[in-house]
Amino acid sequence: MFNGKKIIVVLPAYNAEKTLEKTYREIPFEIVDDVVLVDDASKDDTAALAKKIGINHVIKHDNNKGYGGNQKTCYSKALDLGADIIIMLHPDYQYTPKLIIPIVGIIGNGLYEVVLASRILGKGARKGGMPLYKYIANRILTLVQNILVGQKLSEYHTGYRAFSKEVFEKIDITQNSDDFVFDNEMLSQIIFADIEIGEVTCPTKYFKEASSINFKRSVIYGLGVLRVSIVHFFAKLGVVNSKLYKKKN
């Protein structure tokens, strides 16, 4: 609890057996009330391990739905459990759970409804071993996206994000892709809804288990991000309609 708000961490997991426990042990349980892990039909024993180490809410998809599909299940479960603040953290030990405390401080004190842990603010990304091609792609996509959606974020691609529950009342994530571009669509919806985003500097670690997305998947993701930004630009002008930006009733 923080300021009377219920704090829930969601872990969208896929083959996370080697890194899950390390990630879980660093979660600051002095403020975190509950943890939800969704196993997207992993090929390893992620779900069994999650139960063994004491995660209360473990959901296993029967089929692999994808990273976005996984998050849809995560947020829906966290909201059902009465979360006021939801932190999405990858269980691949790439981002430190210790940052949950300042992130919750920002949202819980009403400063921002959304906080991103940025690897690009400061020297986190390259220092932590982000491959050069990913770094360059990140910087170019971020520049293009900042121009098209009228923002000044340091990056749109971090997997460490937190949201107040009100965000989910203003945007409809059920309309989003089930693939990796889900994250980018969600940020686009947040910006479209004029919700302000805060950023904190985040160290990051690149090692085998923390990064499995290959070059081809990265290119597909990059093109998806460009499409999201272009549609956002024209939707803002009122020239195109997109189901992503429909107001929730």
Residues making contact with ligand GDP (CB under 6 A): 12, 14, 16, 40, 64, 66-67, 70, 90, 92, 94, 159, 210-213
Using an 8 Å Cβ cutoff, are 11 and 43 in contact?
no
150 CB-near residues (< 8 Å, 6+ apart): 191, 236
Residues 92-121 that bind Mg ion (CB under 5 A): 92, 94
Using an 8 Å Cβ cutoff, are 184 and 109 in contact?
no
212 binds, among ligand GDP, Mg ion, none (CB under 5 to 8 A by kind): ligand GDP
64 binds, among Mg ion, ligand GDP, none (CB under 5 to 8 A by kind): ligand GDP
Per DSSP, 83 falls in state -
- Other Cβ atoms less than 10 A from the Cβ of 196: the count is 11
227 CB-near residues (< 8 Å, 6+ apart): none
- Burial label for 114, CB within 10 Å (0-12, 13-18, 19+), is buried
In the complex, least distance from residue 166 CB atom to ligand GDP, rounded to whole angstroms: 25
Residues 178-217 that bind Mg ion (CB under 5 A): 210-211
Nearer to ligand GDP, 123 or 248 (CB): 123
Nearer to ligand GDP, 213 or 219 (CB): 213
Nearer to ligand GDP, 94 or 188 (CB): 94
Q: State the Rg of the chain over Cα.
A: 17
Nearer to ligand GDP, 64 or 76 (CB): 64
In the complex, least distance from residue 204 CB atom to Mg ion, rounded to whole angstroms: 9
